């Protein structure tokens, strides 16, 4: 168990809908990262937050947004969903602002299916 | 951004044999070289990492070797066991960067046959 929790575990929805994925980092970790994993794109970095502020952006679509709250949990919002958004979404956390300096701890993921 | 390639994409070995996975990268600023293991239905988990001032690091049956000149590093698993079956990812990074993103390779599916 990495100490990172994600809810829900599975999510099935229809095209055009909006969903929210939730992540609680390990106790004491200030950085939260979101990744998307699909068969054709592999494991892709979406966005990073550090202590409530956006730190880095990766291949995140404009239809997607995220935020980190004062209690350090984070939410990833996906709107106007398309079939191609079906994927596993992982949240990871690390202690400092520079995840490249060490280990990132991954949650179990949320499997999103868009029908 | 970093261009990361892993080879092979799939690897099947007999239990007890060794397995080697190679990762090449493009960013010369990379100085942190981790390997993550992802078991079915779980998130990736760090299994070993190396810094650029070290050429090799070993942890029991797992080792990582680095060739910074050639920009590649490899994961070595000896005496493989069925529980080593998983997808392995390399994710080279720049420790000096204030950004925390990891550039993951496409992964290597390792299957260990009993």
Determine whether the interchain pair B102/A45 forms a contact, defined as Cβ–Cβ distance below 8 Å: yes
In this prediction, residue A98 carries a pLDDT of: 58
Amino acid A59: pLDDT: 83
Give φ, ψ of A110 to 5 degrees: -120, 125
Closest approach of B78 to chain A, Cα-based (Å): 23
Q: Does the structure show a pLDDT above 60 at A99?
A: no
Contact: A55, B100; criterion CB under 8 Å: yes
pLDDT digits (tens, 9 = 90+) for A3-24: 999 999 999 999 999 999 999 9
* pLDDT for res B105: 92
Q: What is the pLDDT of residue B99?
A: 62
Q: Is the peptide bond before A86 cis (omega within 30 degrees of 0)?
A: no
The DSSP string of A7-58 is E-SEEEE-TT--EEEEEEPPTT--EEEEEEEETTTEEEEEEEEETTEEEEE-
Query: Which residue reads 């956390």 in tokens?
Result: A93
Nearest partner of A23 among A44, A46, A42, A43, judged by Cα:
A46
pLDDT of residue A40: 83
Residue A113 has pLDDT above 70, yes or no: yes
Q: What whole-number percentage of chain A has pLDDT above 90?
A: 78
Give the gap in angstroms from C-alpha A4 to the nearest C-alpha of chain B. Answer: 10
Q: Which of A38, A43, A60, A90 is the best substitution to test chain B (most B C-beta atoms within 10 A)?
A: A43
Query: Average pLDDT in the A74-100 region?
Result: 89
DSSP B40: T
pLDDT for A88 equals 97
> Angle at the Cα of B39 (from B36 to B45), degrees rounded to 5?
30
pLDDT tens profile A45-76? 999 999 999 988 888 999 999 999 999 999 99
- Ranges of residues in chain B with a pLDDT under 70 are 1, 95-100
- Chains A, B: CB pairs < 8 Å: 79
- 3-state secondary structure (DSSP) of residue A101: helix
**Measured CA distances, A87 to A12, A59, B8, B43 (Å):** 11, 14, 23, 13
CA distance B65 to B33: 10
């Amino acid at each position: 168990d990495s100490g990172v929790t994600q809810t829900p575990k599975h999510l099935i929805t229809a095209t055009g809908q909006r969903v929210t994925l939730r992540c609680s980092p390990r106790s004491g970790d200030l950085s939260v990262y979101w990744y998307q994993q699909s068969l054709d794109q592999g494991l892709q970095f979406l966005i990073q937050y550090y202590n409530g502020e956006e730190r880095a952006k990766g291949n995140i679509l404009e239809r997607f947004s995220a935020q980190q709250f004062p209690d350090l949990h984070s939410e990833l919002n996906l709107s106007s969903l398309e079939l191609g958004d079906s994927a596993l979404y992982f949240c990871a956390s690390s202690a400092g602002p520079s995840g490249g300096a060490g280990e990132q701890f991954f949650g179990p993921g949320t499997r999103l299916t868009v029908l | 951004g970093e261009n990361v390639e892993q080879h092979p994409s799939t690897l099947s070995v007999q239990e007890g044999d060794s397995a080697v996975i190679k990762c090449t990268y493009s960013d010369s600023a990379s100085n942190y070289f981790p390997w993550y293991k992802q078991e079915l239905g779980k998130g990736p988990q760090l299994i070993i990492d190396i810094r650029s001032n070290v050429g090799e690091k070993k942890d029991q049956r797992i080792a990582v070797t680095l060739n910074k000149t050639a920009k590649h590093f490899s994961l070595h698993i000896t005496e493989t066991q069925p529980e080593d079956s998983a997808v392995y990812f390399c994710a080279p990074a720049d420790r000096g960067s204030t950004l925390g993103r990891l550039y993951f390779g496409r992964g290597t599916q390792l299957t260990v046959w009993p």
